[in-house]
Every structure is written in C-alpha cells, then in structure tokens.
Amino acid sequence: MVKEIKYMWASIRLGGNMPARAERTMRRSDSEFQLVGEPTGEYYEVVMIFGIIDILQDYDISKKLEHAYKSIQYDPTSISAVDPRLYSRRFRDFIFKVFTEDD
C-alpha cells in the first residue's frame, strides 16, 4: 500500500494531473452579493486551472498613466490597467458568469 501511495504522488504534478473534487453549493436568490452558497452534499470530480496574475502589481502612477494612454484608444473599462476596485468587480462578475447555477 505504501508503494501505491508513493506511485500516486509521483504521478501528480502541481497544476496538472491532480485529482480534485468540488461540492455543489446553492446561493440564495435574495442575496446578490453572496459569494459562496450553502453546501448541498453533492460532490463532483472536477478539473480546475488557476493562474495568479497581477496580485503583486501596484496600481501606482505608471499604471495610472498606462490607463490614461490606453483609454484614448480603447474602452476604459475593458483594458487591464484599471483601478483595483473596478478590476475586482470585473473579476467577480466574470466568475459569476462563468460558474453559473444549474436550472
């Protein structure tokens, strides 16, 4: 059994080939801002891919200048160099759109 466990861990790479399980949750319909719903007890095998970008980037004067310059050419809300509050809202809205509730 120890050999099987060692083999299992040897075949797993961080970020790939990792078994994952998710529990389905249900958000209350009366709470628009509830990020995590109540657990239902239903579990599913899932594949999740995550990337961490921009979390260590400061929104300093260089990013503000980048935003101003790009805003002349593009829609100011669609470019990547935006105020962290807008970036946060945009990311949250994207997550709610991608992870939809089953009907």
- What is the per-residue pLDDT across 67-92, written as a single tens digit (0 to 9) for each? 999 999 998 888 888 888 888 888 88
* 3 and 46, same domain (yes or no): yes
pLDDT-above-90 percentage for the chain: 12
User: Whole-prediction pTM value?
Assistant: 0.45
Using 50 as the pLDDT threshold, list the residues of the chain that sit under it: 1-6
* 66 and 42, same domain (yes or no): no
* 70 and 87, same domain (yes or no): yes
Integer Cα distance of 45 and 59 in angstroms = 38
Neighbours of 82 (CB within 10 A): 21
Domain encompassing residue 84: 53-103
* 102 and 59, same domain (yes or no): yes
Integer Cα distance of 71 and 79 in angstroms = 8
The maximal CA–CA distance of the chain, rounded, in angstroms, is: 63
Integer Cα distance of 1 and 59 in angstroms = 51
